[in-house]
Structure 1
Amino acid sequence: MANKKGGLGKGMSSLFGANNVSKSAVEHTKSATKEPTATENVVQLNLSAIKPNPFQPRRHFDETKLQELATSVQDSGVLTPIIVREDGKSYQIIAGERRVRASRLAKLTTIPAIVRQVDDDTMAAVALIENLQRDDLNVIEEAQAFDALMTRLSLSQAQLAEKVGKDRATVANALRLLKLPENVQTLLQDGDLSMGQARALLGLKKKSQIDKVVATIMARGLNVRQVEALVKQINESGDEPAASEKPQISPFIAAVATQLEEKFGTKVKVNTATKGNGKIEINYVSNDDLSRILALLNIEVD
């Protein structure tokens, strides 16, 4: 992500300055995520008692990177304590959700933690700003974080753009994506729809036509310029988009599907997206059938 801040404290000071929130709020937020001090007690908490930050905007975590972290945790343990606050008989994460997820993958039962007293406003600010400073936040998560910060801090788009170090158009375009139907936002998050294609959809005069246009995009593999042209044509004519044609399967993909079906002895579907990525779906009819397929892949499940 462009204009990434150098550190959480600096980002907090920028966001909470300029008469939006008192200086003490900045200090509370910075102190909530500061490194553990020598005088603080590190306790071992049961992972089963730990819950995510309720204000966490991130919904998708890179499974490959989490698995790598889990391997490190298995070898060396959790070296840096997570930071939490009490919530009744459980605890909410202030900082360290990736460490918690990796520890669960590593089959640990406890994790080192420091318990601090933090209010809701500080929790929200930590989660939102910390995530905006990451470079792997997807466009919908980024837009949701922008929207939440604007609401919580009563900021205009221009004020928010200045404080997160982005131009106003970038913020405005991101926020507009939240006007798309949830199913279209999911396609955008999963990489099945590009940001350019999604922005073109927002140009439709009749929002009820979005789903049909999306179906056409997926079926025909339309690029951004073609989507823009289709939207313009629909707006000018007032017509519904033409019925989606059945996507043409390339000989290569068809051959791949056939070979996979022969190997696994079951129905295999190879779905391709507009950006060259895709998904492979392998059907199974029972747990025994699934075990058979896993054995063919040399995968052992305890």
Structure 2
Amino acid sequence: MAAKSSAQKPDPEMAPPKPQTVKRAGLAGLLKDSLSHQVGQHREMQPNEADEQGARMAQPLRVDLIDPNPYQPRMSFDAEEIEELAQSIDELGLQSPITVRVKGERFELVTGECRLRAHKVLGRVMISSFVVQIDDETSAANALQENVQRKNLSDFEIFNSIMRMRADFHSSKTIKQKIKISKAHLSRIDAFEVFTPGALEILRKNPKIMGSNTAGALRSALNLLPELNKTAIDDAFCKALRDLTSNKIKQNAFVSAVLSQLGVTKTPKPKAVSSDIQREGVTIAYVKDTKKERVICLDRKEFTEDQLNSIWDYVKSVSPTKKE
């Protein structure tokens, strides 16, 4: 007699798992993720000079114990902007503590001049602060970088700050490491060196009346002129700057105004020149300057492929990535 077979019920624990439904992120979730990413990027962009000293921990310090940074690059502060910042701090609190360093029995500000001034406007006794251990040069560089980063510092204020640092610290190493300015922009900022002492004093009183593009154009024009009397140059610079300050002329007419004061009625043009580059009496390259370009022609048989690649890499390293 054959045994009856009975159907065996499947074990629920052995059943294959049901596929899970993946929920697509809604608009709110996407916005939240995007905001978190942007906040993270914002924090990364903030001056973080204390990272070198280890973990950062803010502490409240008395406002009256904090002295200003002697290397503060700003030459003037907008009272209205300070009032607006004070109102924001009053409503939302201080979002980013200031940075200070110990100076004897007091503290010296590194970054956060506007935030400190806003606290004084509010009559606050204490301010949240990071205390760091850095030298004078790094403190000066950090103060400059913070203001450059906020994009409300004039080109002349940047120039004046860099000149002070170069004079006091005799090195541009920290400047290059700390200040995120393109080489092309820095070169134009250096053009303010052509201004005479009298002209520089006028610019210090009105640091926002001229940008580095105008300074660079003036430097280029002066390089094409024969040597001129220093007193005549100073008079021409100061006259044109006073006219610019009083809105008698616009910034795009400044170079012409200076040249006119110097008796130059026509803007000089660069002459096309050609020169050979020799090694042991053999011409290995030549340079040709025209109105619009400088052409450097290399004799291929005089250079190895590695040397040619090195020259090309160098050209790329010093070339501006964009016009500013």
TM-score range, shorter chain: 0.5 to 0.7
Amino acid aligned to 1:185: L
Alpha carbons 2:198, 2:238 under 8 Å: kept:
no
Structure 1 partner of 2:101: 85
Residue 45 (structure 1) shift: 1.8
Aligned residues: 212
Q: Which has the larger radius of gyration?
A: 2
Structure 2 partner of 1:131: 147
Structure 2 partner of 1:111: 127
Residue 186 (structure 1) shift: 3.7
Root-mean-square deviation (Å): 4.2
> Could you tell me the percent identity over the aligned residues?
24
3-state SS, counterpart of residue 262 of structure 2? helix
What's the CA shift string for 1:105-148, capped at 9, x where partnerless?
11111112232322223212212233333311012211123324
Q: Which runs of structure 2 are paired with 1:144-183 in the superposition (5 Å)? A: 144-151=160-167, 152=169, 154-155=171-172, 164-167=181-184, 169-177=187-195, 179=197, 181-183=199-201
Structure 1 partner of 2:157: 141
Structure 2 partner of 1:45: 61
1:232 to 256, 259, 268: 259
Distance 1:176 1:222, change over 3 A: same
1:222 to 238, 242, 249: 249
Inter-partner Cα distance in structure 2 for 1:68 and 1:225: 33
TM-score (norm 1): 0.54
3-state SS, counterpart of residue 80 of structure 1? coil
Amino acid aligned to 1:48: D
Residue 187 (structure 1) shift: 5.4
What's the CA shift string for 1:41-98, capped at 9, x where partnerless?
x432221111122222122233333212201222243243322212122211123222
Alpha carbons 2:244, 2:251 under 8 Å: kept:
no
3-state SS, counterpart of residue 140 of structure 1? helix
Structure 1 partner of 2:112: 96
Please say if 1:207 is aligned against 2:227: no
Inter-partner Cα distance in structure 2 for 1:180 and 1:34: 46
Mean CA deviation greater in 45-54 or 76-85: 76-85
Inter-partner Cα distance in structure 1 for 2:111 and 2:247: 44
Amino acid aligned to 2:248: G
TM-score (norm 2): 0.51
Greater relative contact order (CA < 8 Å, ≥ 6 in sequence): 1
Distance 1:223 1:97, change over 3 A: closer
3-state SS, counterpart of residue 189 of structure 1? coil
Distance 1:63 1:109, change over 3 A: same
5+ unaligned residues in a row in structure 2: which ranges?
1-40, 266-324
Distance 1:55 1:34, change over 3 A: farther
2:202 to 184, 201, 226: 184
Alpha carbons 1:47, 1:100 under 8 Å: kept:
yes
Structure 1 partner of 2:307: none
What's the CA shift string for 1:255-296, capped at 9, x where partnerless?
xxxxxxxxxxxxxxxxxxxxxxxxxxxxxxxxxxxxxxxxxx
Inter-partner Cα distance in structure 2 for 1:128 and 1:237: 38
Alpha carbons 1:84, 1:113 under 8 Å: kept:
yes
Alpha carbons 1:11, 1:129 under 8 Å: kept:
no
5+ unaligned residues in a row in structure 1: which ranges?
1-5, 13-27, 239-302
3-state SS, counterpart of residue 68 of structure 1? helix
Distance 1:134 1:35, change over 3 A: farther
Residue 165 (structure 1) shift: 1.7
Distance 1:139 1:34, change over 3 A: farther
Please say if 1:31 is aligned against 2:51: yes
Q: Which runs of structure 2 are paired with 1:244-259 in the superposition (5 Å)? A: none
3-state SS, counterpart of residue 89 of structure 2? helix
3-state SS, counterpart of residue 119 of structure 2? helix
Structure 1 partner of 2:279: none
Alpha carbons 2:61, 2:129 under 8 Å: kept:
yes
3-state SS, counterpart of residue 222 of structure 1? coil
Alpha carbons 1:47, 1:110 under 8 Å: kept:
yes
